[in-house]
Amino acid sequence: MIEVNGVTKRYGAKVAVDDLSFTVRPGAVTGFLGPNGAGKSTTMRMILGLDRPTSGDVLVNGRHYAEHAAPLREVGALLEAKAVHTGRSAYHHLLAMALTHGIPRRRVEEVIDLVGLREVARKRVGGFSLGMGQRLGVAAALLGDPATLILDEPVNGLDPEGVRWIRNLLRSLASEGRTVFVSSHLMSEMALTADHLIVVGRGKLIANASMAEFTAMMDASVRVRAREAEELRERLVGPGVTVELIAPDVLQVHGMDSSAIGLVACRHAIALDELTPVTASLEDAFMDMTKDAVEYREAS
Amino acid sequence: MTAVASKPVAARTALPDSVRVTLPRVLRAEWSKFWSLRSSYFALGGMVLAMIVFGGLFALVTANQYPTMPPARQAAIDPAQVSLRGYAIAQLVIGVLGVLVVTGEYATGMIRSSIAAAPRRWPVLVGKAVIFAGITLVVTEIASFAAFFVGQAFLASQHLDVGLGADGVLRGVVGTGLYLTVVGLVGTGIGFVLRSTAGAVATLFGLLLVLPVLGEALPSDWGDKINPYLPSNAGQQVLVVHPDAAATLGPWAGFAVFCGYALLALLVGGYLLRRRDA
């Protein structure tokens, strides 16, 4: 359980996070979505007590991160940049972290096998690919068998097999009742893994809803092609139903599904040439939601 | 529980209830971190080599030239000091190592993992300082004694060699290791303050090597008051075998002042470590 209460973070004049509040609950994968520079990484660093909020409060499992007697047991984190000394081997990196908590060496070996780094565990991390670095970060996050996991862009640099591995891992961690908080700037990735979404832009909360609510919120319409488009429009328009004439013989209908439209057309003997439900993708919805919050964009 | 056990991520090793952060555990972690980097071996090995090779070299040259020296120069030879000259190079190596113990973590991002594992932060600094100082003290003392004995072996050809029992010798040999260790600790403190390798190394050697030169340029009434308290001037009192009896600071007073600089650097570093974003 992560509780972010009215958190603001300023770096000089720049506001990275602006009065952000949300709760991340156990037993689900919560996606943390926003364009680059939206304040996702800053928020995650504040959850871990690495950065101090300018104002507001962040609690993990009921306490500030630093107040836990065994923080690695409470929260496991994969941070965006590799937080590993490049001169040390993967094994020794994990061992050093384990030693701070008295976590047994067996557990170090276990997480190495779990993330599939057995063969390179004794090699220096400096020679690791991005994907191997991400796997090492996941191993470090799992080391303390934590109740809460925070992963910043975990699929970055992973090959398709690695991406699928992360997805399954996140799902099974959540199914074990853990709190799983994952950031991404890709809606398509979140659509496949997350149960709940928190969307931010320019440090502000844009949306906080379950995936089902998100899908329901999305703009659904039906495109109808008919020669008697004008007449059909008059028949369809009603309370909660809007119809746009987008071409002389094409209508865009909001607020009525295709079978209802078909029924109306049949009742008035209007021949239909096409009846197509149109759903905006989650990606489109995300783009639309955050279009004002994107920091860098090519001139259009 | 079979359903959970079959999941790939459940801990098969049940973690004991005793799992939590303690200072001794952070010390063990720092010990493991120190010995799992090649740079530690290179630096310590290089330091030992510098002490022995330069100490031996100075002793050899001194012994060879002794017969042709004017009597005044012959009388001025301090055999123990000659064999410990390598400290001038060794302090550069140990200083850089002391800095790197900290800035190596900032450069790579490791510091975030270190702080995440010990979020109260001060154990990270204490752990680094204690482990670095402990290891470095043992190795610099070994190097210092080795350099002394190698040097005396060369000087024996002209019967110039002295034993550890001679006046001031044991203190000078032990003091060389102490001075080198505290040089490294000053570096560790500055490393926490500045967080960058280049900046911390430049600052450390500015304090140790450049400051005394600037001090020499002061008018003598000022210089006499200030110079004895400059870090390396104070710290090196402890490794001088035959100190000037009129010196403002004696061997141990000087060393105490030098330790004060190290403590100050570590305290400022610790304060900033607690306050700043990582």
Per-residue model confidence (pLDDT) at position B3 = 35
Q: Do A212 and A275 fall into the same domain? A: no
Going by C-beta distance under 8 Å and a sequence separation of 6 or more, which residues neighbour residue B11?
Answer: A107, A110, A145
Maximum distance among all alpha carbons in chain B?
90
d(CA B265, CA B203): 12
Residue span of the structural domain in which B171 resides: 23-275
The question of ipTM being above 0.85 is answered as yes
A297, part of any domain? no
Q: Is the residue at A50 inside a domain?
A: yes
Task: Report CB contact under 8 Å: B105, A71.
Answer: no
Q: What is the structure's pLDDT at B4?
A: 36
Domain-located, residue A292 = no
What pLDDT score does A295 carry? 58
Residue of B nearest to A166 (CA): B9
Average pLDDT, integer, range A265-271: 92
Does the beta carbon of B38 lie under 8 angstroms from any beta carbon of chain A? yes
Tell me whether residues A85 and B37 touch, CB distance under 8 A. Answer: yes
Residue B11 has its nearest CB partner, among A50, A107, A169, at: A107
The C-alpha atoms of residue B272 and residue B266 are separated, in whole angstroms, by: 10
Average per-residue pLDDT for chain A: 90
The residue-averaged pLDDT of A182-188 equals: 87
pLDDT for res A30: 97
CB pairs under 8 A between A and B: 136
Confidence of residue A221 (pLDDT cuts 50, 70, 90): confident
Q: What is the pLDDT of residues B205-260, one digit of tens each?
A: 999 999 999 999 999 889 999 999 999 999 999 999 998 888 889 999 999 999 99
Structure tokens at B123: 């154990």
- A25 and A129: one domain? yes
Instruction: Tell whether A149 is covered by a domain.
Output: yes
**Distance, in angstroms, between A146 CA and closest chain B CA?**
10
Decide if B110 and A144 are in contact by the 8 Å CB cutoff. Answer: no
What are the CA-CA distances from residue B143 to residues A71, B61, B133 (Å)?
Answer: 41, 20, 15
Question: Does the pLDDT of residue A116 top 50, yes or no?
Answer: yes
Q: Do B20 and A102 touch (CB under 8 A)?
A: yes
B78 inside domain: yes
- Interface with B, mutate which of A68, A75, A93, A100 (most B CBs under 10 A): A100
Specify the pLDDT at position B9: 53
CA atoms within 13 A on the CB side of A227: 3
Q: How confident is the model at residue A282 (pLDDT cuts 50, 70, 90)?
A: confident
Residue A117 lies in a domain: yes
Q: Are residues A92 and A228 in the same domain?
A: no
Sign of CA dihedral B75, B80, B83, B84: negative
Residue B111 above 90 pLDDT? yes
Compare CB distances from A102 to B4, B18, B115 and report the shortest one's residue: B18
Distance from CA of B42 to the nearest CA of A (A): 13
Least confident range from A34-43, A158-167, A212-221, B5-14: namely B5-14
Q: Do B33 and A52 touch (CB under 8 A)?
A: no
Question: In terms of domains, do A211 and A103 share one?
Answer: yes
Task: Kindly state whether B20 is in contact with chain A, defined as any CB-CB distance less than 8 angstroms.
Answer: yes
Q: What is the pLDDT of residue A32?
A: 95
Phi, psi of A61 (to 5 degrees): 45, 40
Q: Which amino acid is at A259?
A: S
User: Could you tell me if residue B155 is inside a domain?
Assistant: yes
Interface test with B, best of A85, A136, A148, A166 (most B CBs within 10 A): A85
Residue B165 lies in a domain: yes
Which residues in chain A have their CB less than 8 angstroms from residue B110's CB? 83-85, 88, 93
CATH number of the domain at A91, please: 3.40.50.300
Higher pLDDT, B21 or B13: B21
**B37 — contact with chain A (CB < 8 Å)?**
yes
What is the pLDDT at residue A36?
A: 85
Domain boundary pick from A216, A236, A251: A216
**A256 shares a domain with A201:** no
- Round to whole Å and give the CA distance between B55 and B140: 13
Could you tell me if B5 lies within 8 Å of chain A, comparing CB atoms?
no
Average pLDDT in the A223-230 region? 91
Q: Residues of B with CB below 8 A from A175's CB? A: 7
Mean pLDDT of A271-292: 79
Confidence of residue B7 (pLDDT cuts 50, 70, 90): very low
Measured between beta carbons, which residues in chain A are less than 8 angstroms from residue B104? 85, 87
Split into its structural domains, chain B has a count of: 1
Query: What's the pLDDT at B127?
Result: 98
The pair of three-digit structure tokens given for residue B209, joined into one six-digit string: 């090597």
> Mean pLDDT over residues B17-32, rounded?
96
Which residue in A50, A106, A114 is closest to B115 by CB distance? Answer: A50
- Across the interface, whether the CB atoms of A50 and B38 are under 8 A apart is answered no
Token couple for A56 = 């507001």
- Residue B240 maps to a domain: yes
- What pLDDT, on the 0 to 100 scale, is given for residue A179? 97
Name chain B contacts of A102, Cβ cutoff 8 Å. Answer: 16, 18-20, 22, 25
Give the structural domain span for A12. Answer: 2-216
Q: What is the pLDDT of residue B37?
A: 97
Smallest Cβ–Cβ distance between B7 and the set A73, A83, A172 belongs to: A172
- Which residue of B2, B4, B17, B19 to mutate against A (max A Cβ within 10 Å)? B19
| Set of chain A residues whose Cβ sits within 8 Å of the Cβ of B120 | 66
For residue B8, tell me if it sits in a domain: no
Is residue B89 in a domain?
Answer: yes
Write out the two tokens for A64: 């500030």
Band (B83; pLDDT cuts 50, 70, 90): very high
- Separation between Cα atoms, residue A53 and residue A47, nearest integer Å: 9
pLDDT band at B6 (very low <50, low <70, confident <90, very high): very low
Least CB-CB distance to A104: which of B13, B22, B119? Answer: B13
Question: Identity (one letter) of the amino acid at A295?
Answer: E
Percentage above 90 pLDDT, chain B: 88
Q: Which residue of A has its CA nearest to B4?
A: A176
B209-221 burial, b if ≥16 CB within 10 A, otherwise e?
eebeeebeeeeee
Note whether A266 and A148 are same-domain residues: no
Q: Among A79, A86, A97, whose Cβ lies nearest the Cβ of B108? A: A86
In a domain, A295, yes or no: no
- Rounded CA separation A230/A251 (Å): 9
Are A148 and A19 in a shared domain? yes
pLDDT reading at A168 higher than 80: yes
Kindly state whether residues A180 and A231 are assigned to the same domain: no
In sequence order, the 6+-apart residues with CB closer than 8 A to the CB of B229 are B248, B249, B257
Residue of B13, B26, B114 for testing the chain A interface, max A β-carbons within 10 Å: B13
Of A216, A248, A268, which marks where a domain is finished? A216
Q: Do A142 and A128 share a structural domain?
A: yes
Is B93 part of any domain? yes
pLDDT over 60 (residue A149): yes
| Run of H or E residues at A221 | strand A220-225
Residue B4 belongs to some domain of the structure: no
Torsion of CA B140, B141, B143, B148, to 10 degrees: 140
- Specify whether A205 is located in the same domain as A242: no
Of the candidate ranges A86-100, A138-152, A271-285, the one whose mean pLDDT is the lowest? A271-285
Q: How many domains does chain A have?
A: 2
Residue A13 forms part of a structural domain: yes
Cβ-defined contact of A169 to B29 (cutoff 8 Å) = no
Domain end call among A216, A239, A255 = A216
Looking at the fold, whether A54 and A118 belong to one and the same domain comes out as: yes
Per-residue pLDDT tens over the stretch B112-160: 999 999 999 999 999 999 999 999 999 999 999 999 999 999 999 999 9
DSSP state, A238? B
To probe the interface with A, which of B110, B125, B195, B197 has the most A CB atoms within 10 Å?
B110
- CA separation for the pair A277, A259 (Å, rounded): 10
What pLDDT was estimated at residue B5?
34
CATH code for the domain of A254: 3.30.70
In a domain, A210, yes or no: yes
The pLDDT tens digits of the residues spanning B183-194 come to: 999 999 999 999
A103 → chain B, closest CA residue: B19
pLDDT (average), residues B259-267: 98
A36-89 tens-digit pLDDT: 889 999 999 999 999 999 999 999 999 999 999 999 999 999 986 678 999 999
Q: Quick one: A23 and A107 in the same domain? A: yes
